[in-house]
């Protein structure tokens, strides 16, 4: 089934200058970029985006990190896009990620792990319109 998903190159990925590498890995694996933009999230925007984690102990540090520099936001489309993006990203902890995944190859820690991807259809349905309106999505 063709799906849409949201992915974010996080501030550490932007800082490390690996935006093109991340997007290239998605494209080489059959995913199409339907929308793309760079933003510097405010703390409030990051808190709204990660509201599902508000009660978790890492919420404050996560939202501080995500508002600490520019991010690259993208809508990706393709066959089983959500699963495919999750697979390409690898485990949240780069030390536990499979060889050849984005996080294993590029990330430095569980806190700064380069990339975000929607974890399911309901999440994607919330995350995509959080950052993109329909006129910004092409395809």
Residue 88 CA to residue 65 CA, distance in Å, equals: 22
pTM, 2 dp: 0.96
- Catalytic positions are 116
The pLDDT of 54-73, averaged and rounded, is 97
DSSP per-residue codes, 100-135: TSHHHHH--SSSS-SEEE--SHHHHHHHHHHH--GG
pLDDT reported for residue 139: 86
Task: Report residue 138's pLDDT band, with 50, 70 and 90 as the boundaries.
Answer: very high
Q: How many CB atoms lie within 10 A of CB 26?
A: 24
Both tokens of 19, joined, read: 């935006």
Sheet containing 2-9, strands listed edge to edge, beginning at the edge strand earlier in sequence = 32-40, 70-79, 2-9, 115-117
**Residue 85 reports pLDDT greater than 90:** yes
The dihedral through the CA atoms of 126, 128, 134, 135 has a sign that is: positive
The 10 Å Cβ neighbour count of residue 112 is 16
Strand 70-79 and strand 32-40: the pairing is antiparallel
Tell me which DSSP letter residue 98 carries: P
Q: Mean pLDDT over residues 72-85, rounded? A: 98
Q: What is the pLDDT of residues 21-63, one digit of tens each?
A: 999 999 999 999 999 999 999 999 999 999 999 999 999 999 9
């Amino acid at each position: 089934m063709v799906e849409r998903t949201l992915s974010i190159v996080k501030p550490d990925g932007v800082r490390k200058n690996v935006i093109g590498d991340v997007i290239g890995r998605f494209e080489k694996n059959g995913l199409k970029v339907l929308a793309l933009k760079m933003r510097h999230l405010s703390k409030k925007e990051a808190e709204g985006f990660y509201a599902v984690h508000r009660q978790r102990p890492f919420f404050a540090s996560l939202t501080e990190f995500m508002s600490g520099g520019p991010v690259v936001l993208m809508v990706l489309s393709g066959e089983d896009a959500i699963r495919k993006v999750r697979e390409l990203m690898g485990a949240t902890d780069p030390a536990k990620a499979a060889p050849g995944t984005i996080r294993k190859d590029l990330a430095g820690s569980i806190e700064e792990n380069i990339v975000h991807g929607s974890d399911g259809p309901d999440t994607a349905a919330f995350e995509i319109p959080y950052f993109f309106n329909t006129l910004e999505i092409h395809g």
